Amino acid sequence: MSYRALYLVCYDICEPLRLQRVHHYLLGFKIGGQKSFFECWLTPPELRNVRTTLTEMIDAVTDRVHIFQLDPRMSNQCFGQADSKVLDTPFMIL
């Protein structure tokens, strides 16, 4: 059984059509975030798939993608109208 880890996937895509494709692709994995910053719970195989697919989707000369593993044990720090509610129950992506 593969475990899920929490990742922050951030991207800056220069061309509008490519940006739309990357955004649409990542919607299938996100549990939270906004615009070009998505929080995603991924298994190791899913992470490999996301890395491979994004590498194929972007222009390596002009676009940027960053994937950071987050520690889910850390407490949230929210300011302004930020929502401190975090998905902490089991979930399923179909």
| Domains, the chain, ordered by start | 5-70 (3.30.70.240)
Asked if 9 and 26 count as a contact pair (C-beta separation under 8 A), the reply is yes
pTM, two decimal places: 0.76
Higher-pLDDT residue of 47, 92? 47
Single-letter residue type at 22: V
Asked if 76 and 85 count as a contact pair (C-beta separation under 8 A), the reply is no
- pLDDT tens-digit readout, 15-27: 999 999 999 999 9
Give the tokens for residue 32.
């939270």
CA 21 to chain centre: 14
Q: How far apart are the first and last CA of the chain?
A: 17
Read off the pLDDT band of 81 (50, 70, 90).
Answer: low
Q: Mean pLDDT, the chain, as a whole number?
A: 84
